Amino acid sequence: MLAGALAAAAAVAVRAALLAGAQSEAVAAAGAAACAVLLLGGITGWAGGAPWGVAALAAAYGGALAAGPAALDAWAPAVAAGIVVAGEAGAWAAELQTPLRLDRGVVLRRAALVIGAGIAAAGAGLALIAPGAGPALAGPLITAAGVASVVAAVAVIRALARRT
């Protein structure tokens, strides 16, 4: 789980650094700090590692958007998915530091929940940037992405409601 969290966070940090232009060093440092906080939380079991890591990661991407080009970032949906997956997988990695016995079904459902949350975040991001992206995202692709994001969002909500 920790490897997945770090891979997602590193991908977002690299995208942010590439987008930041002249401020790429500062954005890269914020992205590296986010990855370090996620790693610390996952290794030590610190529950605060995931939320603080995700906050730093989102701040790095926000800084990149502020410093970078004025155009829409077409990779924003993937970044949203990466941030969600990094947070969920990072929190799961921290929880796994507590010794417990896990049922295979629980692990599979949790993994499906993390993946579903990432897909829902990407779909929502795509739906939000599509109107400003022009005809490049129009047509069946955006319709399919919208339907998939709604299905994924409903699945995530259902899974969360079932857990409580």
The 10s digit of each residue's pLDDT in 124-158 is 887 777 666 666 655 666 667 667 777 777 777 77
Percent of the chain at pLDDT above 70?
88
- Distance between CA atoms of residues 78 and 71, nearest Å: 16
**Inter-residue contact 23 to 64 (CB < 8 Å):** yes
Other Cβ atoms less than 10 A from the Cβ of 61: the count is 29
Six token digits for residue 1? 């789980």
Beta strands in the chain (DSSP E): none
Q: How many whole angstroms separate alpha carbon 74 and alpha carbon 53?
A: 23
88 pLDDT higher than 70: yes
- Give residue 110's pLDDT band: very low, low, confident or very high (50, 70, 90): confident
